[in-house]
Amino acid sequence: MADEKGMTSGSILVVGGGISGLTTALEAAEVGYEVYLVEKNPYLGGRVAQLNKYFPKLCPPSCGLEINFKRIKNNRKIKFYTLCEVEKISGSPGNYDVAVKQNPRYVNANCTACNDCVDACPVERESEFDLGMSKTKAIYRPHEMSFPMKYVIDDSVCKKDECAKCVDACSYNAIDLSMGPKTFDLKVGSVVIATGWKPYDATKLDKLGFGQLKNVITNMMMERLAAPNGPTKGKIARPSGGGISSVAFAQCAGSRDENHLPYCSYICCMASLKQATYIREQYPDAKIYIFYIDIRSPGDRYEKFYKKVKEDKNIFFIKGKVAEIEEGSTGVIIIAENALTGEKMRQEVDMAVLATGMMPTGAETKISGDITYNEDGFIIADLEKGGIFAAGCAKKPADVMASAQNATGTALKAIQTLVRR
Amino acid sequence: MDKKYGVYICTGCGIGDALDIERLSKLPQKEYNVEICKTHGFCCGPEGVDLIKKDIEGEGVNAIIVAGCSPRVNQDVFDFGSDKIVERVNLREQVVWCHDLAPVEAGEDAEASEAESALKEGVNLHTQFIAEDYLRMGIVKAQKSELPEPYLLETVSKKILVMGGGISGLTAAIEAANTGYEVTLVEKESSLGGYAAKLRKQIPMSNPFTDLQAPIIQEKIKAVESHPKIEIKTNTVVARIAGEPGDFTVTLKAPGETIEFDVPQLVTQTHDEEGKELTKEQTDELYNELNKGRADILTFDPNGEKFGAVILATGWKPYDASEFENLGFGKYQNVITNVMMEELAANGRITRPSDGKEAKSVVFIQNPNGDDDSDFPFASSVTSLVALKQAKYVREDSSDAKAYVIYQHMRTPGLYENFYKSMQQDDGIFLTKGKVSSITEEGDGSLAVEVDDNLLGEKIRINVDMAVLATGMVPTTKDDAIVNLAYRQGPGFRDIGQFDGYADSNFICFPYETQRTGIYAAGCVRQTLTMADCVEDATGAALKAIQCVESVNRGVAVHPRSGDLTYPDFFFQRCTQCKRCTEECPFGALDDDEKGTPKPNPARCRRCGTCMGACPERIINFADYSIDMIGSMIKAIEGPTEDDYDPVPLRVIVLVGENDAYPAIDMAGMNRLKYSPYVRFIPVRCLGSVNTVWIKDALSSGLDGILLLGCQFGDDYQCHFVKGSELCDRRMENVAETLKSLALEPERVELKQVSITDYDKIPEIINKFVEAIDEVGPNPFKGF
């Protein structure tokens, strides 16, 4: 703080350890404030950890995450807790009591990440990190770059004491099957909610065949398929097997739709353009059809990327929303009306990617406390009152650049609450 | 510092099984005279940590070498306080997890097998060699490492300079001042507000994002004017900013004034009229001529004001629309731009420029030419939203007025979709995708507009009073440095052309990082943003400015090595004034004087070590990272000799960028991917810090090849220090020349760009290089 005031006391709680929460926490801590970061997953990084590349640079998200994790390791001002959910926030700006529930990891700090437990574990489960496209054991490392580098047990499938093979396999006494949930309280001056989003449930788009037709996938699944640490080691393949000669992208799958998400999800146009480059890189002859309402690639940087993708003569843009996806003779048939020509189209492709949008975590789970949500579940922050703020996609649909930018500003608002006290 | 060393070898996670630990644990004493060397089955466990702590307390150990897992894990466990040196030797991820554990078969390599028989049973000889080399390097590194002392300025100014009094600048000033910092706000116009003060109404800024709202700028102006911590200077621009964060000396002046402290400009000319490259002398002469009457950058304005950090929020200017004659601009008075429209609307009812007649029908054009679906240059979602907003103005002015918006793509992302939908509800606003194929003026001054390829299916012709072009917003930094830094590398941001003149960051995850420490861009000078987004962006920039002055005050680096206490130390007696450090520093941290001696500005520095890598005299070093340190680590590698083997196994060093390549190698280990046991990894801060003397050290100590693994470079560079890997690549070209002159094969040195996710490619990259070296043959200097 400015000289005459001296550093003020009080700390900041950041809820959510994705790119927004990490950014808020780190930016505040690097000014000199104490920060608690709580995350519900067993690892930090959130949604971006699942992505293969960022648009428009096509760089790997783990590069920036590595830097952020290094910043956490180097900064004694940040304390982070994984597997935690905030149950209740009470109090007023400058003086909050936060009840946090920590779910059991069943693996303690002794874990060296040697992997012996995984070899011993007989139970398999679907990996939610790979959106069900791969399996892990009941005891697992969430992903290659998980931070913290500690294993975790999925207690919905683990047979616990009945089996306990992992306990025997562990040389470090790191597995404790008796762990249970515990709660603890944090006293903080301000709170930033950065609980992010989840992909809109594509099974709700009943005409688009997801869950019924094997070769209809979502854009997040495409990220995992293209990722080197994904279920196919980065080789994009059809779920039904075999290579790819054509792919269709259905934009606004759920977004800009009164029956689903009325707003625009901000990232899906750029994400599909990016994913088109993934496919084209692996399949030099593949044809790509992008069905859109508007291509939202605003601003100099995104427009440039769109232009570059347009130059690829194997990528076709069709203005028209996909009405239906049907089983085809070898793949799937996209049914859409070309809005410019009025032509009814039936385009058979090997695979369809639904550009599903983002649903804020607040649409399903609301934190108990003085927090206002809009009807879609985005948090409306009252900057004048202060105290509790929202950052990133908990507040509005945003891409990574915009999330990091507004998370940085939110860190300052959180600090101001402490200063004013 | 007087060091007392302690070496702790962990035997857990398979290390104890794969190595002859007894032999390894004798090495510190035998080769380095280090008395304390202990082994433990679980070093990172409570007992293991206690073992170390006991030696710290009981034996006074203060230089701790932990040989076990990667330094990327358990950093907190092995943190024994800032007065201790801790080195980690990566025996797990980079030795036992990625090498063949089986002993060498006698039939396959009789000599190796024989040598191996001296080891603990079941241990592979090569694996043991790697571990021993890494332990040597770890000890040497600890020997060559010193505890850093922070670089502290004598006096630190925490005052923040905000350039620009528009929505972003005003917000940044208020937010910084509300956090307790003194702010000076400069604005080149005579009043505050910028374009935000010239609006009739604003695009919605808050939930539900459906309706236009009253401008907020007057509130912001009031807040700034009444804030005790904000000083306002209108009719003022920045002549120059000299010095470094925490201690900038800023000269302010009136716009258009010529003063001694105007910032020196760079010579842009590189060739003379005959196309011959200018000599250094000619360039100097041109420089002096160009900057006649201006004080040199190292002369500080005695009347300058002190600031700690700067927020650049100078906004945008309208794109020059004169090139759009095809749409009638400049030809017909009633074809105007969106900026002109806003001015008309702000002044009252919207009237036609040609005759002042009320505009009852207006077409808004989003796309400048029919061949392409792009918006106007420098357009963005703002131009889409503004068209909708201004369409609404037309409707507000008259209930029977009509507005037509012709677009290729309606860019209303995120919650702005609500605004778009709300405008669609207005039955006087017609929205269609389409291309304007022609505009012609009718006798009464109205315009006939033809629209092709629209959603109605047929060519339509509309008659309107006015046409509004959605021309873009050009960042003020496009053709003018604006920030006027008195830096040897020039007054503006380098490589700004890559972002079409925006003062933007190259990094998706770090939007405020520019190549100039302590200067943070916000608002439309960084990216074209709506006003709501400008407010958020400016708040973030205010945080970064505050964080920077607080970091300088603590003597630590800012991003990406935030908190780093070290800084480059120059041994000037041996400086030959070659200027390479000044020229190569990606952050412009160095200013040389007229002789060429660099003047370091440590608070501008990001601690990448590019200067250290550039210096041919090797006089630039850090407390815990130096030429001598890495050189000594290289020399510590025990190359097998002909006495032991025939043929001698290869030895290759790999200099590894620590942010991306090093974790990729760790992940290869975690996935138990195997690769050649003849390589030794040495982490470096950035490839930019690689000094060619290390290549010499390696070759003269008989090593056979040097592989450099660093970040991707080029336009979409991933180097966190902007230029490091690219500069290194250029240096290696020179190395290749030198190698040729020594009759050594240039193939012995190679640089590869890898991403952090390329771990699956690591074995192939390494093995291929080793194979290539094998083909070239052993280093002829081996044994000399």
Q: Say whether the peptide bond before residue A262 is cis (omega within 30 degrees of 0).
A: no
Asked whether residue A6 is assigned to any structural domain, the reply reads no
| CA of B421 vs chain A CAs: smallest distance (Å) | 9
Tell whether A289 and A211 lie within a shared domain: yes
Tell whether B629 and B778 lie within a shared domain: yes
Tell whether A147 and A120 lie within a shared domain: yes
Q: At what angle do helices B167-178 and B531-554 cross, to 10 degrees?
A: 40
Contact B509 A400 (CB under 8 A): yes
Count of structural domains within chain A? 3
Contacts of B760 in chain A (CB under 8 A): 228, 233-234
Interstrand relation of A344-349 and A197-199 (parallel, antiparallel or unpaired): unpaired
One-letter identity of residue A278: Y
**Segments of B559-617 assigned E as strands:** 569-570, 590-592, 598-600
Confidence of residue A6 (pLDDT cuts 50, 70, 90): very low
Boundary of a domain, candidates B147, B169, B184: B147
Cα–Cα distance for residue pair B186/B207, rounded to 1 Å: 32
Tell whether A160 and A303 lie within a shared domain: no
Tell whether A324 and A223 lie within a shared domain: yes
Tell whether B666 and B758 lie within a shared domain: yes
Asked whether residue A272 is assigned to any structural domain, the reply reads yes
The beta-carbon neighbor of B563 closest among A74, A171, A407 is A74
Contact B716 A62 (CB under 8 A): no
pLDDT in tens, B625-646: 999 999 999 999 997 777 767 7
Give the whole-number percent of chain B exceeding pLDDT 90. 89
Tell whether B33 and B84 lie within a shared domain: yes
Asked whether residue A371 is assigned to any structural domain, the reply reads yes
Ramachandran region, residue B588 (left: φ > 0; alpha: ψ -120 to 50; beta: rest): left
Asked whether residue B560 is assigned to any structural domain, the reply reads no
Interface test with B, best of A71, A255, A257, A263 (most B CBs within 10 A): A263
Q: CB of B147 within 8 Å of any CB in chain A?
A: no
Contacts of B559 in chain A (CB under 8 A): 30
Tell whether B665 and B751 lie within a shared domain: yes
Tell whether A122 and A70 lie within a shared domain: no
Q: Structure tokens of B779? A: 């280093």
Give the whole-number percent of chain B exceeding pLDDT 70. 99
* Local structure of residue A136 (DSSP, 8 states): E
| pLDDT, mean of residues B21-41 | 97
Confidence of residue B752 (pLDDT cuts 50, 70, 90): very high
Supply φ then ψ for residue A219, to 5 degrees: -65, -35
Contact B182 A59 (CB under 8 A): no
pLDDT in tens, A312-367: 999 999 999 999 999 999 999 999 999 988 899 999 999 999 999 999 999 999 99
For tokens 């332990």, the residue is B135
Q: CB of B397 within 8 Å of any CB in chain A?
A: no
| CA of B215 vs chain A CAs: smallest distance (Å) | 18
Contact A263 B374 (CB under 8 A): no
> Residue B613 sits in a domain of what CATH number?
3.30.70.20
Is the confidence at residue B648, as pLDDT, over 90? no
Q: What residues of chain A, 315 to 334, have a C-beta less than 8 Å from chain B?
A: 319
Closest CA to A4 of B553, B155, B181, B175: B181
Confidence of residue A381 (pLDDT cuts 50, 70, 90): confident
Q: Structure tokens of B633? A: 């680590």
Cα–Cα distance for residue pair A30/A190, rounded to 1 Å: 16
Tell whether B306 and B346 lie within a shared domain: no
Tell whether B185 and B134 lie within a shared domain: no
Confidence of residue B100 (pLDDT cuts 50, 70, 90): confident
Is the confidence at residue A173, as pLDDT, over 90? yes
Top pLDDT among B642 and B285 is at: B285
| CA angle centred on B383, ends B378 and B388, rounded to 5° | 170
| Helix, coil or strand: residue A220 | helix
| Helix, coil or strand: residue B441 | strand
| CA of B44 vs chain A CAs: smallest distance (Å) | 7
Tell whether B691 and B704 lie within a shared domain: yes
Range of the domain at A135: 116-169
Boundary of a domain, candidates A321, A339, A356: A356
Asked whether residue B719 is assigned to any structural domain, the reply reads yes
Is the confidence at residue A8, as pLDDT, over 60? no
Of A66-70, A306-310, B116-120, B379-383, the least confident: B116-120
Q: At what angle do helices A400-420 and A19-31 cross, to 10 degrees?
A: 40
Ramachandran region, residue B768 (left: φ > 0; alpha: ψ -120 to 50; beta: rest): alpha
Tell whether B635 and B778 lie within a shared domain: yes
Q: CB of B275 within 8 Å of any CB in chain A?
A: no
Confidence of residue A9 (pLDDT cuts 50, 70, 90): low
Q: CB of A71 within 8 Å of any CB in chain B?
A: yes
Contacts of B69 in chain A (CB under 8 A): 112-113
Cα–Cα distance for residue pair A217/A195, rounded to 1 Å: 25
Interstrand relation of B705-710 and B652-657 (parallel, antiparallel or unpaired): parallel
Find, in chain B, the residue whose alpha carbon is nearest to that of A18.
Answer: B509
pLDDT in tens, A78-128: 999 999 999 999 999 999 999 999 999 999 999 999 999 999 999 999 999
**Segments of A200-343 assigned E as strands:** 216-218, 246-253, 287-292, 315-319, 322-327, 332-337
Tell whether A45 and A190 lie within a shared domain: yes
| Helix, coil or strand: residue B40 | strand
Asked whether residue A17 is assigned to any structural domain, the reply reads yes
Is the confidence at residue B165, as pLDDT, over 60? yes
Interface test with A, best of B75, B96, B153, B508 (most A CBs within 10 A): B508
Q: Quote the pLDDT of residue B106.
A: 66
Tell whether A260 and A327 lie within a shared domain: yes
Q: Quote the pLDDT of residue A421.
A: 58
Confidence of residue A63 (pLDDT cuts 50, 70, 90): very high
Tell whether A348 and A369 lie within a shared domain: no
Tell whether A364 and A387 lie within a shared domain: yes
The beta-carbon neighbor of A412 closest among B76, B179, B380 is B179
Contact A172 B547 (CB under 8 A): no
Asked whether residue B152 is assigned to any structural domain, the reply reads no
Asked whether residue B562 is assigned to any structural domain, the reply reads no
Contacts of B755 in chain A (CB under 8 A): 59-60, 63
The beta-carbon neighbor of A415 closest among B179, B528, B533 is B179
Boundary of a domain, candidates B502, B529, B554: B554
Asked whether residue B78 is assigned to any structural domain, the reply reads yes
Question: Which residues 6+ apart lie within 8 Å of B88 measured at CB?
Answer: B65, B66, B67, B68, B69, B70, B71, B78, B138
Tell whether B307 and B258 lie within a shared domain: yes
Contact A298 B413 (CB under 8 A): yes
Partners of B332 in the β-ladder: B329
Tell whether A349 and A272 lie within a shared domain: yes
Is the confidence at residue B232, as pLDDT, over 70? yes
Tell whether A245 and A333 lie within a shared domain: yes
Q: Structure tokens of B49? A: 């940590």
Contacts of B75 in chain A (CB under 8 A): 73-74
Question: Which residues 6+ apart lie within 8 Å of B582 measured at CB?
Answer: B488, B489, B590, B591, B592, B596, B598
The length of chain B, given as a count of residues: 784
Asked whether residue B204 is assigned to any structural domain, the reply reads yes
Range of the domain at B606: 569-621
Interface test with B, best of A59, A107, A192, A395 (most B CBs within 10 A): A59
Cα–Cα distance for residue pair B536/B522, rounded to 1 Å: 9
Contact A319 B433 (CB under 8 A): yes
Asked whether residue B154 is assigned to any structural domain, the reply reads no
Question: Which residues 6+ apart lie within 8 Å of A159 measured at CB?
Answer: A123, A138
| CA of B686 vs chain A CAs: smallest distance (Å) | 13
Confidence of residue A368 (pLDDT cuts 50, 70, 90): very high
Cα–Cα distance for residue pair B506/B204, rounded to 1 Å: 29
Q: What residues of chain A, 192 to 231, have a C-beta less than 8 Å from chain B?
A: 227-229
Contact B42 A110 (CB under 8 A): yes
Confidence of residue B783 (pLDDT cuts 50, 70, 90): low
| Helix, coil or strand: residue B352 | coil
Contacts of A416 in chain B (CB under 8 A): 175, 178-179
| CA of A294 vs chain B CAs: smallest distance (Å) | 5
Tell whether B486 and B533 lie within a shared domain: yes
Sign of torsion over alpha carbons B522, B527, B528, B532: negative
Asked whether residue A310 is assigned to any structural domain, the reply reads yes
pLDDT in tens, A239-285: 998 889 999 999 999 999 999 999 999 999 999 999 999 999 999 99
Average pLDDT of every residue of chain B = 95
Q: Quote the pLDDT of residue B610.
A: 97
Asked whether residue B737 is assigned to any structural domain, the reply reads yes
One-letter identity of residue A398: A
Tell whether B341 and B437 lie within a shared domain: yes
Tell whether B299 and B325 lie within a shared domain: no
* Local structure of residue B485 (DSSP, 8 states): B
The dihedral formed by the CA atoms of B654, B657, B658 and B664, expressed in degrees to the nearest 10 = -70
End-to-end CA distance of chain B: 35
Contacts of B455 in chain A (CB under 8 A): 339-340
Asked whether residue A175 is assigned to any structural domain, the reply reads no
Q: CB of A123 within 8 Å of any CB in chain B?
A: no
Is the confidence at residue B235, as pLDDT, over 70? yes
Tell whether A277 and A416 lie within a shared domain: no
> Residue A32 sits in a domain of what CATH number?
3.50.50.60
Find, in chain B, the residue whose alpha carbon is nearest to that of A407.
Answer: B540
Count of structural domains within chain B? 5
Asked whether residue A5 is assigned to any structural domain, the reply reads no
Asked whether residue A414 is assigned to any structural domain, the reply reads yes
